[in-house]
Amino acid sequence: MSIPTPEAHVRQVVETVERRSPSEPEFLQAVHEVLDTLIPVLAEHPEFIEAEVLDRLVEPERQVMFRVPWLDDDNHVRVNRGYRIQFNSALGPFKGGLRFHPSVNLSVVKFLGFEQIFKNALTGQQIGGGKGGSDFDPRGKSRFEVMRFCQSYMTELYRYIGAQTDVPAGDIGVGGREIGFLFGQYRRLTNGHESGALTGKGTGWGGAEVRTQATGYGAVYFAEEMLARAGESIEGRRAIVSGSGNVATYVIEKVQQLGGRAVTASDSSGFIVDEQGIDVDLLKQIKEVERGRISEYADRRPGARFVSDGSVWSVPGELAFPCATQNELDEAGARKLLDGGVRAVTEGANMPTTPEAVALLQQAGVLFAPGKAANAGGVATSALEMSQNASRDRWDFEQSEERLHAIMRDVHDSSYAASVRYGRPGDYVLGANTAGFVRVARAMVDQGVV
């Protein structure tokens, strides 16, 4: 049997995915985004085509969907849908966060799980890719409602996870509080204290130092490396940041630690501009402690303003960090960033930039760091948490941050090296996809048809 050309092979795999998953736009977008960059790798490795690595890669090993019934504070029964997509375990246990947001559906969880495979491979650690979540909306819910929901969610999920099998963590709507509730129920159901079954735990009961900061800090470290290669730095530069959750908060903190000035933050109701530089303590007080809205920042900070209708990307700045959600930076937003003098765009969120916007920014010569490389610091630190749980060891903050920094340098360097090897130096989208893919593909070939 003759082997198809790489182009024909990719076309055929994409057509299969489109036929099987016609109503999963986010997943299709992620598949296109990765597969379109793999032609040069497949040309170099016909054995990947022969072993049908791509056909197997686009199909999750296992997908779990389940009912999550819970009681609200008025004793009304509520029902949500839960998901866990165990996408690929060639490199290690499935690993990836849980997202609780009303927009969660099968397509969103599959896109996130698919991206996670390559991201996790890029970290150089032994972790496979997975993702999960629910269409539950934690906003406006009491602490006890969130707890009852988490307990019900885990009552089904616990059958599928474990330190050697699948290790969930947080994502949108799932932070330290939710991981606590989920772990409490897991521990109760499994009659043990298998710490390694979840990451993002509290530092007093098995959590790793720096896990909270890791995704945001890691994204800024990646930006620093990317800028340094181009002879530039973060110091003295203005940063435009979207989101005001876990990732955005620690991007802002690290940008300012490195001498930059982050002047914006946002949530789904609008954005704030603070020309003095965001006051990170106030931001944390409002978003982490009080669970309030970003508009409250402008009420409490002299000189800051809140904008409810407009685009955060219209604020001028040399650095941009989209850190909220998928497809939040479209072509119109990218044009605004270019008008505002942007030099580098670093994705803190997963797939926040539309394909059209990525093309526009790259054509304009803007340095562009895709999320699967730039936001890999979170999962990398989660893998460090797994190691510490397995060895019952505990590293301090400095040691953990040093490890994170070294991992992000490696992620940058291997992405850059792959961009050179496959003919487009400095194209980090191509570099991250190909470097991650080669590692997973080799493992899949070695392990046979499974």
Active site residues: 131
Q: Which of 289, 248, 278 is nearest to 378 (CA)?
A: 248
284 vs 442, beta carbon nearer ligand NDP: 284
User: Environment class of residue 64 by beta-carbon count within 10 Å: exposed (0-12), middle (13-18) or buried (19+)?
Assistant: middle
136-175: contacts with ligand NDP (CB under 6 A)? 170-173, 175
Binds ligand NDP (CB under 6 A): choice among 88, 151, 244, 354? 244
Contact 326, 108 (CB under 8 A): yes
| Contacts with ligand NDP, 191-230, as mask; x by CB under 6 A | ------------------------x---------------
Nearest distance, CB of residue 95 and ligand NDP, angstroms: 11
254-273: contacts with ligand NDP (CB under 6 A)? 267-268
| 202, two tokens | 């509290």
375 touches ligand NDP (CB under 6 A):
yes
Please tell me the distance from the alpha carbon of residue 253 to that of residue 57, in angstroms, as a whole number: 37
Tokens 């029964």 sit on residue: 77
Please tell me the distance from the alpha carbon of residue 409 to that of residue 428, in angstroms, as a whole number: 13
CA distances from 339 to 121, 142, 318, 332, 357 (A): 36, 43, 10, 11, 14
246 touches ligand NDP (CB under 6 A):
yes
Angle subtended at Cα 202 by Cα 189 and Cα 119, rounded to the nearest 5 degrees = 90
Cα four-point dihedral sign 45, 48, 54, 60 = negative
Counting residues that bind ligand NDP (by CB under 6 A) gives 24
Task: Give the nearest residue (CB) to ligand NDP.
Answer: 245
* 3-state secondary structure at position 51: coil
38 vs 323, beta carbon nearer ligand NDP: 323
Nearest distance, CB of residue 365 and ligand NDP, angstroms: 26
Nearest distance, CB of residue 175 and ligand NDP, angstroms: 6
180 touches ligand NDP (CB under 6 A):
no
Q: Which amino acid is at 267?
A: D
243 touches ligand NDP (CB under 6 A):
yes
Strands across the sheet with 264-267, in order?
Answer: 264-267, 270-273, 305-307
CB atoms within 10 A of CB 290: 10
244 vs 419, beta carbon nearer ligand NDP: 244
Binds ligand NDP (CB under 6 A): choice among 378, 404, 429, 441? 378
Taking contact as CB under 6 A, which single stretch among the options 73-81, 82-90, 347-355, 417-425 is the one that binds ligand NDP?
347-355
Taking contact as CB under 6 A, which single stretch among the options 40-48, 158-166, 246-254, 421-429 is the one that binds ligand NDP?
246-254
347 vs 427, beta carbon nearer ligand NDP: 347
323 touches ligand NDP (CB under 6 A):
yes
Concatenated DSSP letters for 252-271?
Answer: HHHHHHTT-EE-EEEETTEE
Nearest distance, CB of residue 12 and ligand NDP, angstroms: 30
Binds ligand NDP (CB under 6 A): choice among 161, 182, 324, 408? 324
The set of residues, in sequence order, having a beta carbon less than 8 Å from that of 391 and lying 6+ positions away, is none
Binds ligand NDP (CB under 6 A): choice among 80, 195, 256, 350? 350
Taking contact as CB under 6 A, which single stretch among the options 26-34, 42-50, 156-164, 244-252 is the one that binds ligand NDP?
244-252
348 touches ligand NDP (CB under 6 A):
yes
Nearest distance, CB of residue 305 and ligand NDP, angstroms: 18
* 3-state secondary structure at position 6: helix
Q: What is the C-alpha end-to-end distance of the chain, expressed in Å?
A: 21
Taking contact as CB under 6 A, which single stretch among the options 17-25, 317-325, 412-420, 436-444 is the one that binds ligand NDP?
317-325
Nearest distance, CB of residue 101 and ligand NDP, angstroms: 6
Q: Read off the DSSP letter of residue 310.
A: S
103 touches ligand NDP (CB under 6 A):
yes
User: Environment class of residue 27 by beta-carbon count within 10 Å: exposed (0-12), middle (13-18) or buried (19+)?
Assistant: buried
Contact 129, 116 (CB under 8 A): yes
Q: Which residues bind ligand NDP (CB under 6 A)?
A: 101, 103, 170-173, 175, 215, 243-248, 267-268, 323-325, 348-350, 375, 378
